[in-house]
Structure 1
Amino acid sequence: MADLFIDNERVSGRLEPAVLHCPRQAYITVSGACIFRCRYCPVPGIPGRRKEVEEIVRMVESVADRIDAIAITSGVASSIEEEEKYVLDVVAALLPFGLPIGVSIYPGPKTPARLHALGVAEVKFNIEAATPALFCEMCPGLSWEAVWEALRQSVVLFGRGRVFSNVIVGLGETDADLDRVIEDLAGIGVIPILRPLTPAASLADRPRPAGDRLLRLYEVHERVLRQAGLDPGRALTMCSACTGCDLVPGRDA
């Protein structure tokens, strides 16, 4: 148990231990390096490595009695196609654990179908920025429309509410831009995840979004998801099931 004091108000709760990166999940990064250079991301400047499939299996084995789900994410070590193939091998090796698996990677044209055929429960393909112009500026060499197409395919395969997408708050967008993209994602059955900018890489001098802005966006986020019949509180894997980094409608009051 733990007590948190905010403006002299005492809030009692329980500290949830992280298992592998987050509570009740093995959330594992496969390739800790990336050939792309998104302006907000520090990964390309870090000498990251790729975990072996057997290593990942051992990691999950070590916490199997303390998790309800497995989540897999990855950079792009050499190419989008090669990364997809490697992650598919990882997923195949994790299926015997009998736990729901969520996957978040940069998608190729057939990525949603291949993940679905393996039995993946949920996917997260990130549009990252609230507008195509910002995406082009922030993620050179990647395709805004390719991610949207992967999201549309995924809703058909995995179902409404089982597909997610990060949207970073603080890249230079307006609140109207964010309201619009929240509605656009929810409108096709995708749950947006609003991710406040962590100043890093070439955006290290940018401020983190103010708390009052995030709370206003949360109200819009909650309302749009409710009207669309989407509930992040039902997520089985990944960010919406964790809530460690972001405000999540359906889980956070």
Structure 2
Amino acid sequence: MTDVLDSAPARPSSEGPTPVDSTDSAAVAELIMELQSVGLRIETELETKRTGGAGPSDSGMLWIEGVPVTVPPSTSSPYALLAEDEGQGIYRDGVKIANVSGTRRPRYYDLTTADGIPYEQIALLHLDSLASTVVQACNYWGNSDQCGFCGIGLSLKAGRTIAKKTPEMLAEVAVAAKELDGAVDATLTTGSSVAPDRGALYVARCGQAVKEAAGLPVEVQFEPPRDLKYIDQVHDMGLDALGIHIESFDPKVLAKVAPGKFRTGMDTYFRTWEYAVDLFGEGRVSTYVILGLGEDPELTVEMCRRAVDIGVYPFVVPLRPVAGSLLEDLPAPSREYTEPIYRKVAGFLEEKGLGADTAVAGCARCQACSSLNLVQQAGNAPACGSFGAPAGGAASAPLLQIGKRPGA
């Protein structure tokens, strides 16, 4: 794989590492951005997200200075997670940088349904958010349309999940996750379907069951349906938020990385978002925007502005390469590349009055895979200014080159 952003090493300091002050949101944000780029050496026990899956995976889950974070484990990172007499800490060059609260194995993982299915195979706890892919299959998977960043078929093949979760299963697990482990919301997604609703109605029925049984706010995620009437039906089921994910605002990148989504068309996404915002409210409709795929950063920022203007929350995240996916060898983007984009998008959100709190549920509420909300909270979010260059010095990354897809 060639012509991609390189992951920049942590910047050396002649004065050595400086411990992070937990009251300094900007410093915490900077550390988290760095860790999500260069990773973290795990030298103690830490609960991790399941290998493979539809979204960011292969991650360590922890709380850094009270902030929920997912970070990629790395054996070469200059930062290490070490055990302490009480708790854990992040160290660099032998100096403690930040306090950490790790996550223990959730209690509900040890339970099973009446017919013997482990709760852990039905839904996972991502820090304080219950998450599940309700249908572990996608019409894009295993053919020329396969999304390069996705691993939806990997965890199923490995036997770590089941192909289809029922509303009853998910409701049962949600109650346990809330009562035993303090889950505060639920995020339910699904592989894309060829049906006219693209799978929206089934994931919404699952969400409705979770909400009614456990009382948790619920976000459901699906592709733009072929008829917007399905958005009305999802809204009528009482769900709290929607995730309708474009993944990249650069059409050249989208055509390479997610050709099925590219064919859906940018205009269809915006039309669907506008319709959904009218029903669910501003800030309760979100979209993933992955950085580090070779996108034009200026175009990405401008399209994020357009999304914010109509009330959509663009959840900007760095690429988290999934082992076994088509992009498994692509390095995460450097902090020098992601930070100015975070700042600009955070500025748009602040001007619009949107934030993690308005998202209510889902990835944009959790924020563990991004530093966007931290940057916004730090008040360090100018809406103009120059971009930092990715490693290699280019102002924008050249178009990603992907190896031949299965079935291509």
The answer to whether the aligner puts 1:68 opposite 2:155 as a matched pair is: no
Cα offset for 1:82? 6.1
Distance 1:208 1:140 in 2: 21
Cα offset for 1:137? 2.9
The answer to whether the aligner puts 1:159 opposite 2:276 as a matched pair is: no
The superposition leaves residues 163-192 of structure 1 with CA deviations (integer Å, 9 ceiling, x where unpaired) of 111011122212212211221111111111
Change (3 A) 1:199 1:233: same
The answer to whether the aligner puts 1:102 opposite 2:189 as a matched pair is: no
Aligned to 1:193: 315
SS in 2 for 1:203: coil
The superposition leaves residues 190-210 of structure 1 with CA deviations (integer Å, 9 ceiling, x where unpaired) of 111112223342223322211
Work out which of the residue numbers 73, 89, 95 in structure 2 matches 1:3: 89
Contact 2:287/2:315 (<8 A) preserved: yes
Contact 1:80/1:106 (<8 A) preserved: no
SS in 2 for 1:141: helix
Tell me which protein shows more helix as a share of its residues: 1
Change (3 A) 1:138 1:50: same
Cα offset for 1:16? 5.3
The answer to whether the aligner puts 1:33 opposite 2:137 as a matched pair is: yes
SS in 2 for 1:193: strand
The superposition leaves residues 24-65 of structure 1 with CA deviations (integer Å, 9 ceiling, x where unpaired) of 222121012211112222325654611222221221122122
Structure 1, unpaired ranges of 5+:
none
The answer to whether the aligner puts 1:87 opposite 2:203 as a matched pair is: yes
Contact 1:104/1:124 (<8 A) preserved: yes
Distance 2:293 2:354 in 1: 26
SS in 2 for 1:81: coil
Change (3 A) 1:62 1:41: same
Contact 2:321/2:332 (<8 A) preserved: yes
Contact 2:204/2:239 (<8 A) preserved: no
Aligned to 2:248: 129
For these two proteins, the number of residue pairs brought into alignment is 253
Distance 1:214 1:118 in 2: 37
Change (3 A) 1:252 1:213: farther
Cα offset for 1:123? 0.8
Change (3 A) 1:38 1:4: same
Structure 2, unpaired ranges of 5+:
1-86, 107-123, 141-145, 379-408
The answer to whether the aligner puts 1:43 opposite 2:152 as a matched pair is: yes
Aligned to 1:57: 171
Contact 2:207/2:219 (<8 A) preserved: no
- % identity of equivalent residues: 24
Change (3 A) 1:101 1:141: same
Contact 2:247/2:288 (<8 A) preserved: yes
Q: Which residue identity lines up with residue 221 of structure 1 in the other structure?
A: V
Cα offset for 1:72? 0.9
Structure with bigger gyration radius: 2
Query: Relative contact order, CA 8 A, sep 6+: which one is greater?
Result: 2
TM-score (norm 1): 0.88
Distance 1:146 1:70 in 2: 26
Change (3 A) 1:86 1:230: same
Contact 1:232/1:248 (<8 A) preserved: no
The answer to whether the aligner puts 1:115 opposite 2:234 as a matched pair is: yes
Aligned to 2:113: none
* Range with bigger deviation, 114-123 or 131-140: 131-140
Aligned to 2:101: 14
Distance 2:198 2:358 in 1: 32
* Range with bigger deviation, 200-209 or 74-83: 74-83
Distance 1:178 1:130 in 2: 5
Distance 1:194 1:80 in 2: 28
Cα offset for 1:119? 1.0
Contact 1:124/1:165 (<8 A) preserved: yes
